[in-house]
Amino acid sequence: MYAVTNPATGELIEQIENATDEEVRAAIDRVHRGYDSWRRRTVADRAKIVSRAAELFAERADELAAIMTLEMGKRINEGRGEIAIVVDIFNYYADNGPDLLTDEPMTIKGGEAVITKGPIGPLLGVMPWNFPIYQVARFVAPNLVLGNTILLKHASICPRSAVAIESVLRDAGVPEDVYVNTFASSSQIPAILADPRIQGVSLTGSEQAGISVAAEAGRNLKKTVLELGGSDPLIVLDTDDLDETVKATATARMRNCGQSCNAPKRMIVLADLYDEFVDRLTKRVADFYLPGDPADPETKLPPLASIAAADEVAAQVEKALEQGATLRTGGRRIGPGAFFEATVLTDVTPEMDAYYEEIFGPVVIVFRAETEEQAIAIANDSPFGLGASVFGTDRERSSRVARQIEAGMVYLNSAGGSQADLPFGGIKRSGMGRELGPAGIEEFMNKKSIRL
């Protein structure tokens, strides 16, 4: 069942029944029916509608931010910031889509050829709760311009976000059979992927969800894009302003209450800075990131998205402490609601679960590295490979380190983030495929070779 529960209070506000199997089949019928006419419309026409969607997202920013605050506890200002990125994404593909879809002529042995770029058909999107509108935007915007149609299954705690997104797209001119929201259950996903009319699936979510969906997609030979978890390293080589470095790293980690796949979760600091870095980071986290009402613009630390999420983080921290980690600050559940104190852990070793797992909450783990080489080794000693960050005053040195990190994205002197024109995605158990930028429109594209 889909449900709206205020994570700040634990109050159940609304419940929505799951779609029946018949309703899911009807939704597939719709996106299949809508594909033939949508793909035949000009790219310029589709891009114009996507541009109008960007305008409507901007106009409804306050309304959409309030929905996210209620459903999953996002700070109201962060919700507005999320909508700003959504607007950028829709504008990027509206403005650049026609050029990105231009035919590519080729000179080949014995003649000429052309590569055309077109859609492949109806797609399934399985979306998460941590960025309820941004995650949908980076999948939907490029595929609408490309000409694919979309069946969207959102997270079960975000039904109002799901309905609001569909409303924006409908009002922008997206036909009702081109984008269809379904309140399907997770147990219905295999049947959707088994339907021969669905041509691919994009999932953003947990590692376990990715394994399940990838298995079903592979069984049915469906194209797959997966953006899964991350335990991103942040290496501090040196700094000429330690306070600013601490502020930047803490801000990035605590954004969205630590519930960001590509947030820096493992700080790796060279030995000469380590003690002072830990002291200042601990003080900042303890004094600055205090829990409060996510609807209050002054709040620095909102609740996690659900009671279950807060309980899971609490269990991970408790286990780390039992296994020998050092607690510098925080570490406690706060009730009522899904609050968890901002936390700093040190002395985490490879023998502990916390060394390798992703903690999806306001928890920072700091490691000491004696050398640059050891810092790189710690960074790469992870099953994940989403993003990473390198802080340092020497750009050549930082770039050298960045090239040795096993990740899909590395940021120099900034921590994580996302922008419309930069490809986003990871390697290893962080998933496969890319979203955003030029790469984002190519994942579900038919690059057809025509020999002239």
CATH number of domain containing 80: 3.40.605.10
Predicted local confidence at residue 226, as pLDDT: 98
Where residue 290 sits, what CATH number does that domain have? 3.40.309.10
What is the enclosing helix (H) or strand (E) of 263? Answer: none
Regarding whether 237 and 224 lie in a shared domain, the answer is no
Percent of residues in the chain assigned helix, strand, coil, to nearest 5: 45, 25, 35
Regarding whether 282 and 194 lie in a shared domain, the answer is no
Residue 200: count other Cβ atoms within 10 Å of its Cβ.
21
In a domain, 424, yes or no: no
Could you tell me the residue range of the domain that residue 264 belongs to?
232-412
Contact 366, 344 (CB under 8 A): yes
Question: How remote is the C-alpha of 321 from its chain's centroid?
Answer: 29
In a domain, 168, yes or no: yes
Regarding whether 153 and 7 lie in a shared domain, the answer is yes
Q: Half-sphere exposure of 205 toward its Cβ, with a 13 Å CA cutoff?
A: 20
In a domain, 417, yes or no: no
In a domain, 192, yes or no: yes
**Residue 158 designated active-site:** no
Question: CA 219, 183, 337: angle at the middle one, nearest 5?
Answer: 110
Q: Half-sphere exposure of 257 toward its Cβ, with a 13 Å CA cutoff?
A: 32
Tokens of 248: 């930047």
Residue 104 pairs with which residues in a beta bridge?
115
DSSP strand pairing (445-451 vs 232-236): unpaired
Is the torsion defined by CA of 9, 10, 11, 12 positive or negative?
A: positive
Residue written as token pair 């069984």 = 219
Predicted local confidence at residue 145, as pLDDT: 98
Which residue, among 351, 380, 364, has the nearest Cα to 415 in the 3D structure?
364
Predicted local confidence at residue 103, as pLDDT: 97
Q: How far is CA 92 from CA 97, 150, 234, in A?
A: 8, 19, 29
d(C-alpha 283, C-alpha 364), whole Å:
13
Q: What order do you get walking across the sheet with 104-108 strand by strand?
A: 104-108, 111-119, 445-451
Regarding whether 354 and 247 lie in a shared domain, the answer is yes
Is the torsion defined by CA of 162, 164, 170, 174 positive or negative?
A: negative
d(C-alpha 182, C-alpha 90), whole Å:
22
pLDDT class of 291 with cuts at 50, 70, 90? very high
Regarding whether 217 and 276 lie in a shared domain, the answer is no
Tokens of 349: 């070793």
Contact 269, 369 (CB under 8 A): yes
**Residue 227 designated active-site:** yes
d(C-alpha 417, C-alpha 424), whole Å:
10
Residue 448: count other Cβ atoms within 10 Å of its Cβ.
11
Residue 43: count other Cβ atoms within 10 Å of its Cβ.
18
Residue 238: count other Cβ atoms within 10 Å of its Cβ.
16
336 upstream amide cis, omega within 30 of 0 = yes
Residue 335 has pLDDT above 90, yes or no: no
Regarding whether 325 and 207 lie in a shared domain, the answer is no
- Give the percent of the chain with pLDDT over 70: 100
Contact 364, 265 (CB under 8 A): yes
In a domain, 421, yes or no: no
What is the enclosing helix (H) or strand (E) of 298? Answer: none
Predicted local confidence at residue 263, as pLDDT: 95
Contact 409, 233 (CB under 8 A): no
pLDDT digit string, tens, across residues 138-159: 999 999 999 999 999 999 999 9
Of 78, 82, 227, 358, the active-site residue reads: 227
pLDDT digit string, tens, across residues 74-90: 999 999 999 999 999 99
Regarding whether 98 and 247 lie in a shared domain, the answer is no
Regarding whether 243 and 155 lie in a shared domain, the answer is no
The SS3 call for residue 107 is strand
d(C-alpha 264, C-alpha 250), whole Å:
9
Regarding whether 254 and 181 lie in a shared domain, the answer is no
In a domain, 155, yes or no: yes
Regarding whether 246 and 194 lie in a shared domain, the answer is no
Q: What is the mean pLDDT of residues 15-42?
A: 98
Predicted local confidence at residue 397, as pLDDT: 98
pLDDT digit string, tens, across residues 168-197: 999 999 999 999 999 999 999 999 999 999
In a domain, 245, yes or no: yes
Contact 5, 157 (CB under 8 A): yes
Number of domains in the chain: 2
Residue 431 pairs with which residues in a beta bridge?
227
pLDDT digit string, tens, across residues 389-424: 999 999 999 999 999 999 999 999 998 889 999 999
Q: What is the mean pLDDT of residues 196-222?
A: 97
Regarding whether 79 and 218 lie in a shared domain, the answer is yes
Regarding whether 202 and 146 lie in a shared domain, the answer is yes
Residue 410 pairs with which residues in a beta bridge?
388
Mean model confidence pLDDT for the chain: 97
Helix axes 134-146, 76-100, angle to 10 degrees: 20
What is the enclosing helix (H) or strand (E) of 141? Answer: helix 134-146
In a domain, 418, yes or no: no
Of 78, 82, 207, 261, the active-site residue reads: 261
Contact 263, 359 (CB under 8 A): no
The SS3 call for residue 112 is strand
Q: Please give the full DSSP string across 355-422, using - where no structure is assigned.
A: HHS---SSEEEEEEESSHHHHHHHHH-SSEESEEEEE-S-HHHHHHHHHHS-SSEEEESS-----TTS
DSSP strand pairing (111-119 vs 445-451): antiparallel
d(C-alpha 416, C-alpha 70), whole Å:
25
Residue 335: count other Cβ atoms within 10 Å of its Cβ.
12
Predicted local confidence at residue 284, as pLDDT: 97
